[in-house]
Amino acid sequence: MKMDLGQTEVERQARSLARRVFSGQRRVVKGKENHFANVANKVYGRWRVGPYQWQVKHVRWVLVSLTRCSSGTRYRYFRYIRACLIYLNKWCDWEPHLHGPWQNP
């Protein structure tokens, strides 16, 4: 049975995950946390799932939807997502499905 998470719960999960994944100065981590929370909110708005329930299609959709952003921004979001997927032990399985123009700045 799938539990429908609320928007605030998804954002809380994303921020909590980001704080565990990223290290460094508080200001820098906070910025990365905000970016990752934006991604989580975007996925939640489309599929109603939180970061721990993501599938490859969710991550790929986010990366494809960033086409209007600059290549540097797309690459930055890709790095943040990749770091979280590595932390969740999903990167090895998902990496072949996430090739695209966002891999280069």
pLDDT tens for 6-60 read 999 999 999 999 999 999 999 999 999 999 999 999 999 999 999 999 999 999 9
* Whole-number Å distance between alpha carbons of 103 and 95: 11
For residue 55 the two structure tokens come to 């599938």
Please tell me the predicted confidence (pLDDT) of residue 2. Answer: 52
pLDDT at 3: 57
pTM: 0.92
Q: What is the pLDDT of residues 57-99, one digit of tens each?
A: 999 999 999 999 999 999 999 999 999 999 999 999 999 999 9
Burial of 78 (0-12, 13-18, 19+ CB in 10 A): buried
